[in-house]
Chain A
Amino acid sequence: AQSVTQPDIHITVSEGASLELRCNYSYGATPYLFWYVQSPGQGLQLLLKYFSGDTLVQGIKGFEAEFKRSQSSFNLRKPSVHWSDAAEYFCAVGALLTGNQFYFGTGTSLTVIP
């Protein structure tokens, strides 16, 4: 069955420091991969997505993610975190084999300290 794992429930970083949020997926074929951000009281906003091609994808707000098939990972990175990046981050995988299902991870909560 398809699944998405985000091993880190909560991460705290200092403003200006680099960030990496981990995401591992389980899927039998090439997945459609997404990262969403959810600020308090807000809906989810798409940061970036990977379907095929270049394994390093650029997104909004200075985020990027790298698809590594050998590791079944799609980690999100940002070189310098801003206080406004504090939010909940969700990795998701889209699957064609099961009726166009869309699976989210459990999320990583990011705290940014001054």
Chain B
Amino acid sequence: EAGVAQSPRYKIIEKRQSVAFWCNPISGHATLYWYQQILGQGPKLLIQFQNNGVVDDSQLPKDRFSAERLKGVDSTLKIQPAKLEDSAVYLCASSLVGTGPYNEQFFGPGTRLTVL
């Protein structure tokens, strides 16, 4: 079974530029999550989708971050414009059913973003 795919794996941009990350969840997984992991910290949930609807985006900085999952499968996370403090690893995860916190999440390898 293929795992969660993310691209690119690494990205370096200058502040005020835009960047987008792509995630392809495990086939059949209805729930998709985006996390931000700053160096030395645990992952922080940014947004959670159930199919193509948003379940929770309370910690997403909506002035600069946006995410979509148009067909209920792939998802993109965008930052526009980027700030220095956005340097982090962006993790995508998916789970099979439901939106409860008890569902096992499967994580992708992440995208490491460096903002100069």
Number of A-B contacts (CB under 8 A): 65
A99 contacts partner chain B, Cβ-Cβ < 8 Å: yes
Which of B40, B45, B99, B107 lies in contact with A43, CB distance below 8 A?
A: B107
- Complex alpha-carbon distance, A44 and B95, angstroms: 13
Name B's interface SS. loop
Minimum CB distance partner of B107 in chain A: A43
A binding-site residues for B, Cβ under 8 Å:
4, 32, 36, 41-46, 49, 51, 90, 92-96, 99-107
Note all chain B residues with C-beta closer than 8 A to A106: 40-42
Minimum CB distance partner of B33 in chain A: A102
> Would you list which residues of chain B between 58 and 116 have a CB under 8 Å from chain A?
58, 91, 93, 99-102, 104-110
Which of A43, A51, A94, A103 lies in contact with B108, CB distance below 8 A?
A: A43
CB proximity of B29 to chain A, nearest CB, Å: 14
CB proximity of A31 to chain B, nearest CB, Å: 9
Minimum CB distance partner of B42 in chain A: A104
A44 touches B91 (CB 8 A): yes
A107 touches B45 (CB 8 A): no
Minimum CB distance partner of A92 in chain B: B42
Minimum CB distance partner of A90 in chain B: B42
B42 touches A45 (CB 8 A): no
* Given A100-B48, A104-B44, A46 and B110 contact (CB-CB distance below 8 Å): no
Note all chain B residues with C-beta closer than 8 A to A102: 33, 45, 101, 105
B32 contacts partner chain A, Cβ-Cβ < 8 Å: no
Note all chain B residues with C-beta closer than 8 A to A103: 42
CB proximity of A104 to chain B, nearest CB, Å: 3
User: Other CB < 8 Å A-B pairs besides A49-B102, A104-B42, 7 of them?
Assistant: A32-B100, A32-B101, A43-B3, A96-B100, A100-B99, A102-B101, A104-B44
